[in-house]
Amino acid sequence: LVRCYHGLGDSIQFARFLPMLAARTASLTVEMQPRLIDLIAGPGGGIRFVPFIDAHPLPQSECDLEITELDFALRLTPADAAMPYLAAESGVLPHGCVGLCHGAGPWDPARSIPPHLLAPICAMAPCISLMPEATMLPVLNPDGCPFDMKATAALVGATDLVITVDTMIAHLAGAMGKPTWLLLKSDPDWRWPVGARGTPWYPSMRIYAQPSAGDWETPLAELARDLAACPALAAER
């Protein structure tokens, strides 16, 4: 039994190891956040997915693991997993479209960016919001992104680039192999290498980190310079 007791991003990040675990077990049940099951389960695979309900967790199993323990339990690294490992039917968006996500939730407000700081990006390329709320940014979907994982994944799949803070969208885009530019606070948690431009967890990801706490202007200026030089978007400007 594998339990998904942390955030959606944690479950997406470590779901890459589930097929390798399934190959070593007689049976595998994954107790997962209901919002993720349809996206991660996919066709076949020999894994039983059940929704995680706080008030009624499954009883203890003979072998009981939390999903973020899988790399340690299996003695695997991110490089041992095939990439990309998530897929979705893509929606239809203009060529060169950029997906934007500025919010990371109230439990760590230091990860989030004031949305107006992303407005210059909207002047450089057609953009959509990947936030599940209305926005004042000049994007193609001012009402925001549907609160549905498969619909969100379809939007991510239709973009040419995702620019996001450290939240579930970063893991979703990275797991789908989408070019992803991650805006990272100066003291990130364990999964992001400090001082590095990339990460072994998501080969398609590029990191733009704050040089000091609260300074989003510096990484955003660097990101804007790189975006201006991006050939995939040049035809749209």
Mean pLDDT of successive 10-residue segments in the chain (237 residues)?
Answer: 95 97 94 95 83 92 95 96 92 93 92 96 96 96 95 96 98 98 95 92 97 96 94 55
Where does the chain have alpha helices with state H? 8-14, 18-22, 34-41, 70-74, 119-122, 149-158, 168-175, 217-228, 231-234
Q: What tokens does 36 get?
A: 């993720």
Contact yes or no for 212/138 (Cβ under 8 A): no
Where does 67-148 have alpha helices with state H? 70-74, 119-122
Per-residue pLDDT at 91: 84
User: Any idea how long the chain is?
Assistant: 237
Strands 98-101 and 127-129: parallel
Per-residue pLDDT at 194: 86
Per-residue pLDDT at 235: 46
Q: Quickly count: other Cβ atoms within 10 Å of residue 110's Cβ.
A: 14
pTM of the full predicted structure?
0.95
Q: Quickly count: other Cβ atoms within 10 Å of residue 215's Cβ.
A: 13
